[in-house]
Structure 1
Amino acid sequence: MAPGWVNISEDTVVVMAKPTRWVTDTGPEHSQWYIDRFRRLAAEGADLAGEARLVDALVPPGSRILDAGCGTGRVGAALAARGHTVVGVDADPVLVEAAGATYPGPRWLVGDLAELDLAAAGEPEPFDVAVIAGNVMTFVAPGTEADVLRRVAAHLRPDGLVAVGFGTDRGYQLSAFDDDTAVAGLHLEHRFATWDLRPWRKESDFAVSLLRRPAD
């Protein structure tokens, strides 16, 4: 297995070219706080599958789905429950361990999205769609946003989709995202203000973008 990639059951540390904002902009207890937060929301019956419902509607049954920046696994697990084959990737081994413990169905991997190489991790088959939810794009290492989108796009089949959602008031401007999308060779098809498809407007502080990898 290539450096930087590990099944959570193996005792190896992920290697990142640059530390993510998740590491540099949060404290040492943030990962456990995040895990506890979503466990509490799940116990309270909160709707945690909104992103998954949209992604499920984009692809046929039994599709291959990449959960890029999977965190605690809530989105990927909901998609796996709908019959899809899911591979989740996150740079935080604490979150990936929690995902594997809570949702044992999908394959969860620790890795840097800016250097994503799933073939080296034993996943050479392309994906029908990738989902980047949970403000992941605002937590990647500064200056790697285009690399993240490019590496995710490289794992899609021709004509595959990427669904990306993040708060546009969190330091990563939507105009910069659109520039990075073009650099990555992805085409914007639709944009919404929420995962339940409310219309996007210039004053919206959240954007869900559906991006297409061109057919070869």
Structure 2
Amino acid sequence: MTEPAPSQRTPSQWEEITAADPSHSTRYIERFRTMAAEGNDIVGEARLIDAMLGRGGRVLDAGCGPGRLGGHLQKAGHEVVGVDVDPVLIAAAEADYPGPTWLVGDLAELDLPSRGVAADFDVIVCAGNVVTFLAPSTRRTVLAGFARHISPTGRVVVGFGAGRDYEFSDFLADASVSGLTVDLLLSTWDLRPFTDDSGFLVAVFSRAE
């Protein structure tokens, strides 16, 4: 996929952050490396995704960052493709978690078949508050891209916290008009139910009929 010139695309909020602070990505990488070295659990989201799949499932880690989830899922026996707009994070994923296919790309321009990757994923996972770092004008475009990239029986799983300028109700409305149907709403990655008071949302979708 040929990325459009900067003047032709809307940068994500993550790109704006890293442009203002070029060391931000490196600190982010080292944060998770330190957590892993200290024995902290950094793959709780991946365990949920693993439980949704048979062995050898195809997974798209959308906004994969430095690869902690995709790397775990590849090790668990799945075929993983990770996409992130930040080349520094992709370089860290390649170094720390060899095996998956790691690609630099804008989720708002997602077109994996043009890069030789089949658009028939069993699960697309978008964790780590990634949707809150999208440019607001591209949110529906990204969600529609997810709907296009799953298999007929595939699912999309998105998790993010409250208080990040993307109301849960607005997100669910955006998903609905983008071709996704809610299958399940949770408040944590360890399967606690979602309520009106929940401060976190994990939404599981399938493709709308």
The yes-or-no answer on 1:19 pairing with 2:11 is: yes
**Which residue pairs with 1:10 in the alignment?**
none
After superposition, what is the alpha-carbon deviation per residue over 1:45-74, rounded to whole angstroms, capped at 9, x for unaligned? 011111111001112110100000000100
Structure 1: distance between partners of 2:17 and 2:201:
22
**Which residue pairs with 1:81 in the alignment?**
75
Structure 2: distance between partners of 1:55 and 1:43:
23
Runs of 4+ with deviation above 6 angstroms: 13-16
Letter in 2 for 1:43: A
Q: TM-score, normalised by structure 2?
A: 0.94
Structure 2: distance between partners of 1:74 and 1:23:
20
Identity percentage of aligned residues: 52
After superposition, what is the alpha-carbon deviation per residue over 1:24-44, rounded to whole angstroms, capped at 9, x for unaligned? 245221101100100000000
Measured at CA, do residues 68 and 14 of structure 1 come closer, stay the same or move farther in structure 2, by a change above 3 Å?
farther
- Root-mean-square deviation (CA, aligned residues, Å) is 1.7
**Which residue pairs with 1:204 in the alignment?**
198
Name whichever structure is richer in helix by fraction.
Answer: 2
Gaps of 5+ in 1: 6-12
**Which residue pairs with 2:169 in the alignment?**
175
Letter in 2 for 1:65: V
Q: TM-score, normalised by structure 1?
A: 0.91
**Which residue pairs with 2:2 in the alignment?**
3
The yes-or-no answer on 1:47 pairing with 2:41 is: yes
Letter in 1 for 2:36: A
Structure 2: distance between partners of 1:203 and 1:15:
41
Query: Is the 8 Å Cα contact of residues 128 and 161 (structure 1) preserved in structure 2?
Result: yes
Structure 1: distance between partners of 2:179 and 2:162:
21
The yes-or-no answer on 1:130 pairing with 2:149 is: no
The yes-or-no answer on 1:118 pairing with 2:112 is: yes
Query: What pairs up with 1:131-146 in 2 under 5 angstroms?
Result: 131-146=125-140
Gaps of 5+ in 2: none
Structure 2: distance between partners of 1:14 and 1:31:
20
Query: Is the 8 Å Cα contact of residues 119 and 148 (structure 2) preserved in structure 1?
Result: no
Displacement, 1:196?
Answer: 0.4
Query: Is the 8 Å Cα contact of residues 187 and 213 (structure 1) preserved in structure 2?
Result: yes
